[in-house]
Structure 1
Amino acid sequence: MLQVRNLTRRFGDKTAVDDVTFDIPSGRMTGFVGANGAGKTTTMRMIMGVLTATSGDVLLDGSPVTAAQRAQFGYMPEERGLYPKQPIIDQLVYLGQLHRMSQSSARREALALLDRFNLADRSKDKLESLSLGNQQRVQIAASLLHRPTALILDEPFSGLDPLAVDSMVELLRERTAAGVPVLFSSHQLDLVDRLCDNLVVLQNGRLMAAGTGDDLRATAPRRHRITVSPDAGWLREETGLTVIDVAGPSALVEFDDDVHAQRTLAAALSRGTVQEFAPIRPSLSDIYREVTA
């Protein structure tokens, strides 16, 4: 498990990351979300040792992470860091050798990854000859090449078409199934909701929420969709709930507790037909919007 503990980074008078603490469990995908300027990239750079923290620690299984351990991590920066005029396979093999892979094993792994992204036939092309989406695929391959012990990915899905997203998701799931902790940032909340076991939310450099999806959903408001006959307007007069919206026979309400939910259900049944009385399971994107509102 990777553990971020009280990380802070200041640039002069500006605090970009302010006392942030969260876990990146092994074998799980952790989504890292926040608006532009929230501090996600700065946090990732501190995890990787690219930036020195003003204060705080990054731990691996409870001990401070070492330079040798970081060298085994896979890192994908938001800004592409490859060489545009160099053949793709040459630079991937070179990067693999920097991670102490043999030339033959680096070439074999690079070609296998390129094949997963349908780029094996372009392996000898210069990077700049590829579309931006395909350049992103190569950058992803570079981060996975040495079979890293942890993955820190900054906007890995940016610019990818749906098929490339599916290929990337499959690769990440293979890594998490092998016990690798994965942290990735994204502005695509639907992807975060579909893929992530854990969520970390930053706003203005501060931690707003962190935990498993179930833990975060448990703290969300108790909202229900109620559909009755003939009209749901009477719910506005009930106690122990807040009416979010009413449209004819249908209403969205937020209960104070389960007692008031059951009391309201009984009242609805006494008035006529209840066609729907269902709790709404918030998505992780709903939780993000709630905690950053």
Structure 2
Amino acid sequence: MLKNQGLIESLGAYKLPNCTQEAHHGDHQLSEFCMEDGCSTQLVPVCAFCKFINHKKNKHDIKPVKLIFGELIKDLEEKQLDFEKQNSGEDEIEKDLKNIANELAATVEKCNQMIEHINLNLEKYRALVRKEPYERIAIRKLLREVFKSNESEVILRKNVDELRQYTRVDEDGLLKVNDAVSLTALRDGQQKTQLFIKNMQAPLKTLDEVRSYLDISMQQFFLEYDSEDIVSDKGDYTPQQQFEYSKSFSKNQMQQRLQKKEERKKELEKQRDVNTIQ
């Protein structure tokens, strides 16, 4: 089903208001728009008399109101489909941010603050890319108001005038969605996030080296002080077997620390929920 099916049906049932510009215009509906670029009455609804008076000297691009609205709804539908397609999965920026968060999560406890910072930026980016451009939302709202206000000239004129800031007239003289402001903000957010990811690469490399050093240190410490227990408990282990055993032990320690961290996080979230209710 089309996302804007309701608008399409409302457009079909919409009754055009009659013109009130002059007394003799009253029997004629505001059925057309002038779509001529540069015309002072572009996008102003006109009746047959208005068209004759204002455009008789010029062969302006006059189109039916319902045709223009229909094409705008069609463009809105296409934009919506593209929007959903683009956001059907994770993009590279989200993947990179998750990788950064995962890298930091494997480090020592002192990196927790940085991990939270990364996750916060990830959520902000998700909100940015998943938020539908406000221009499209505004267009949909204005069209609904027009279609619900059957034969209301005031609503038609007012809402079409507001549509100007969210639309543009293309080379075919059709009204199209103009969401350039939102798309520019999205690109700006993406560029800033990509710069953030780029700037994080060198620190992450350093952190990885530190983590590797800590792993080796923990393993050496374990072998140095517990080698006798390993041999007595497990039999005659070779140095390589002792190394693998100690490596497994250090990973278990890390997993336990991460588990405790998650448990503490859940406790804090539960407490926060309780405080919110109170």
Same-fold call, TM cutoff 0.5 = no
Pick the structure with more strand per residue.
Answer: 1
* More relative contact order, 1 or 2 (CA 8 Å, 6+ apart): 1
Query: When the two structures are superposed, what TM-score results if normalisation uses the length of structure 1?
Result: 0.23
Query: When the two structures are superposed, what TM-score results if normalisation uses the length of structure 2?
Result: 0.24
Pick the structure with more helix per residue.
Answer: 2
**Which has more radius of gyration?**
2
